[in-house]
Chain A
Amino acid sequence: MKMVHPLIKYVRPGFLSTTSCSGCGNGIIAQGVLRAIDELKMDIDDFVFVSGIGCAAWIPSPFFNADVLHTTHGRPIAFATGVKLSNPKLKVMVISGDGDLVAIGGNHFIHAARRNIDLTVICANNGIYGMTGGQVGPTTPFGLKTTTSPYGNLEKPFDLPKLAEGAGAAYIARWTTYHARQLTRSIKRAIQKKGFSFIEVVSQCPVQFGRRTGAGNAVTMMENYKKNSVNIKKVDKLKEDELKGKIIVGEFIDREEPELCEEIAKMRERIG
C-alpha cells in the first residue's frame, strides 16, 4: 500500500526532489509554511511567494506549486511591496536568508517594517552565506572563523527581532528548526495578521556552517538548538550569565498598527 505525504499536493510536479544539502533546515521551513497554509485551509493560489538569492530562496522556488517570484539579491521585500500594493487581495510571503534580507536587503527590510505593509517575511537564519561557500554574514556569531573571517569574526551579529521591532514590525517571532510545530503556529498567525510579520528561523546549514566551522552535522546542530533555546516567557526568571549563548525563542511582538494597504484604501475613499 502506498502512502502519500499530505504536503505533496503543494509541490510543483517534477520538482519534489530538491537541490538542498542533506539535513538542510530549509526543508523543515518549507514544511512549516505548507503545513500552515494547509491547516488554515487556505488556497495556495491566493499566495505569491517572493524570494531573493541564496539557499533559503530556493524554499519556494521552484518547489512550491504556486505563484513564485525569485528575484535579485536582497530585493524580495521591495518586489513583494510592489506585488502587494498593486493587488492587496494577494497574500504575499517573502522567504529568504539572513544575508539576503538584512545585509544587502537591510534597507528594504526596515522600511517595509516601518510602513507596516501586510507581508509575512520568513528569514531562514543559518548565520552564514551558504550558497557561496561559507562567508561571514550579518548574523554570524562573534569570533567565528569563516572563509572571509579566517582570523575570527570581529563584528557583532544582528539581533533580528530587535531590528524588526525598532523598525516597527507588527508581529515578530523567532524559532529554530527544532521548534517545527511552534513555527507552523507562528506562520499561521503571521499569515492572518494584518501588518508586517517577521519570523526568524534559526536553521542548520550542515555543510557550509556545520562542517566548515565544526558545529557538527544536522542532527548535532538541531540537538544544540533544542538544548540552547529559552522561551522569551522564561527570560525574566533567568540571570544574565544563564542567558549567555542561549537562543531566545517565542513570540516577541504582536501589536496592532495601521496597515499600509488599508490606509491607502481609506485615503482613496477620502479623496473620492
Chain B
Amino acid sequence: MSNRVLTGLHFMQGDIACAEGAIAAGCRFFAGYPITPASEIAERMARRLPEVGGTYAQMEDELGSIAAVIGASWTGTRAMTATSGPGFSLMLENIGYAIATETPCVIVNIQRGAPSTGTPSLPLQGDILQARRGSHGEYEVIALAPSSSQEMFDLTIKAFNLAEEFRTPVFLLADSFLGHMREEVLIPEESEIDIVERKLPPSKKSLSEYKSSLDEGIAPMPVFGQGFKSHVTGSTHNSYGRRNVTDPEALDYYVRSLNSKIRKHKKEIISVDSDVKDSDVVLISYGTTYRAVREARKRFKEDKISVGSFRLISLWPFPEEEIEDLAKRVKTIIVLENNLGQIFPYVEAAAKGRAEVIFLPPQLLGTIHNPDTIAKKVREVI
C-alpha cells in the first residue's frame, strides 16, 4: 500500500495539498462531482484513496455527493467532499441534515466568481455568509479559511479534527486563487500528525439509555454496523433517538441544543492570527486577502508605523469577543474582503462603536488587493 502521508517538502497546488491533508487526516471516503476550480481535489482523491484502502465515489450530482459523504460518516468513516459555489448551493439541504444529525464531515468550497455560473477560475470570497446561513433553520457552523498551500494541508487536518470532536460538518472556505496556485508545502511525519477520534457509545446499550445526540458535552455517535440500533433522523428529535414533530418543547430543545453545542465551545474552536501590539490601525482579513495584507504591512517598516493585522483563521463561529477587545485598543479597523462586505457587518457589530470600522474591497473583485492600495488607505486614516 502506498504512503498514507507524503512526508517531505513539496511544491504543491492548493487543491492537491487539501487532498493530501485529508488523506493524512485519515479520510477514507470522498464523494464528489467535477466543478472548476475544485476538480483537482476529486482527481487526486480518485487516485490516492484506493492506494490507501479508501473509496472514491463520483456521484451524479452534488446533492448525491454530500448525501453519500454523510452515509459514509455514519459507518464510522472520515468522509469529505469538495466543490465550488454552485455545488455548495446544491448541497445546502443536506448540510442542514448533517448539522441536525451531528454527522462529522468536511466540506471544501473553493469559491469562485459568482453569483450563478460567474467566472469559474477567478477567486471571490462570495460564499462566506452562505456557509453560515445558507441552509434553512437556526444553527451554528464551523468554517476555516486557509491562506496558503501549506494551510490547505494543515487546515484540512484541523477541519477533520474539529468535525470529529464536535460531531458537525466543518467547512474549508478557499478560493480559486488558492486552489490553483502552487507553493511550498512541508508535510510532516505521520507520527507528528494529531488525529482526533470521535466518541463511540457504550456497546449494545439501548438508545433509550444514553444520550446519542443533542448534548453540549458532545454525545457519542452510534455508528452503523456495531449493533447500536441507531435511529438517525433530520426530523426534530430528542437526545434518545425519538422523533417528535408535535411539541414546541421538542423543537425548542432540538434547536437550542444544536446551537449551544458549538457556542459553548467557541473558545476551543476559534482560531485567529493576531499581530497588533500598539497599532492604531488594524487590518482584518482572511484567506487570500491576508497575503495582500502581509505585503502591505512591509511598506510601513521604514516609516516605523505599526500597522496591525488580525487574521481570521476560523470564520465561524465569529470571534465577536476578540474583535470587541481589539476595537477597544485601536482607533481604526480596516476590513479587507474580496467581496462587497460579508464579515464586515459582523466586525462593525462586534466593535460596538469603539473603533472606526472601514471596508476595503480590491480594486477589481476577483483579484487580490494591491498592497500599495492598502498602504495608501492606511496612510489616509492615520
**A→B interface (CB under 8 Å):** 12-14, 45-46, 48, 50, 61-62, 65-72, 75, 78-87, 89-90, 107-108, 111, 264, 267-268, 271-272
Contact = CB atoms under 8 A, between A and B. Distances in A.
B70 A79 contact: yes
Contact of B67 (A13, A67, A75, A271): A75
A68 B242 CA distance: 12
Contact of A48 (B64, B68, B206, B224): B224
Interface of B: 1, 28-29, 31, 50-51, 53, 55, 57, 59-61, 63-65, 67-77, 79, 93-94, 97, 206, 208, 224-225, 227-235, 241-243
Given A85-B57, A86-B28, A108 B64 contact: yes
Contacts of A62: 231, 233, 241-243
A57 B252 CA distance: 25
Given A13-B206, A45-B227, A68-B230, A267 B72 contact: no
A65 B71 contact: no
Given A65-B229, A82-B72, A87-B77, 19 more contacts: A12-B231, A45-B227, A45-B229, A61-B231, A62-B231, A69-B232, A70-B232, A78-B64, A79-B70, A80-B71, A82-B57, A82-B70, A83-B72, A85-B72, A86-B71, A87-B76, A90-B224, A268-B53, A272-B1
A82 B85 CA distance: 23
Contacts of B72: 82-83, 85-86
Contacts of A85: 29, 55, 57, 68, 72
Tell me which of A79, A80, A264, A268 has the highest count of chain B C-beta atoms within 10 A of its own C-beta. Answer: A79
B224 A78 contact: no
B63 A78 contact: yes
B128 to A, nearest CB: 24
Given A82-B79, A86-B29, A70 B57 contact: no
A82 B68 contact: yes
Contact of A72 (B29, B68, B224, B234): B234
B234 to A, nearest CB: 6
A83 B61 CA distance: 17
Nearest to B77: A86
Given A78-B68, A83-B75, A71 B57 contact: no
A14 B55 CA distance: 38
Contacts of A65: 229
Contact of B232 (A13, A68, A272): A68
19 contacts: A12-B229, A14-B208, A50-B71, A62-B233, A62-B243, A70-B231, A70-B243, A75-B67, A79-B71, A81-B68, A82-B71, A82-B73, A85-B68, A85-B72, A87-B224, A90-B225, A108-B64, A268-B50, A271-B50
Nearest to B233: A70
Nearest to A66: B229
By secondary structure, the B interface counts as mixed
Nearest to B227: A45
A45 B225 CA distance: 7
A79 B224 contact: no
Contact of A271 (B28, B51, B76, B234): B51
Q: Which 8 A-B pairs have the closest CB atoms?
A: A82-B71, A82-B68, A78-B67, A86-B72, A78-B64, A70-B233, A79-B71, A82-B72
A13 to B, nearest CB: 7
Given A14-B208, A75-B94, A89-B225, A83 B71 contact: yes
Contacts of A50: 71
A97 to B, nearest CB: 16
B247 to A, nearest CB: 15
A29 B28 CA distance: 35
Given A72-B97, A82-B70, A268-B50, A111 B60 contact: yes
Given A69-B71, A90-B225, A264-B55, A107 B79 contact: no
B225 A87 contact: yes
Contact of B57 (A75, A81, A108, A268): A81
Contacts of B51: 271
A71 B71 CA distance: 9
Nearest to B47: A271
Nearest to A63: B231
Nearest to A89: B225
Contact of B75 (A13, A66, A87, A268): A87
Contacts of A89: 225
B221 to A, nearest CB: 12
Nearest to A87: B75
Contacts of A48: 75, 224-225
Contacts of B75: 48, 83, 86-87, 90
Contacts of A70: 231-235, 243
A94 to B, nearest CB: 11
Contacts of A268: 50, 53
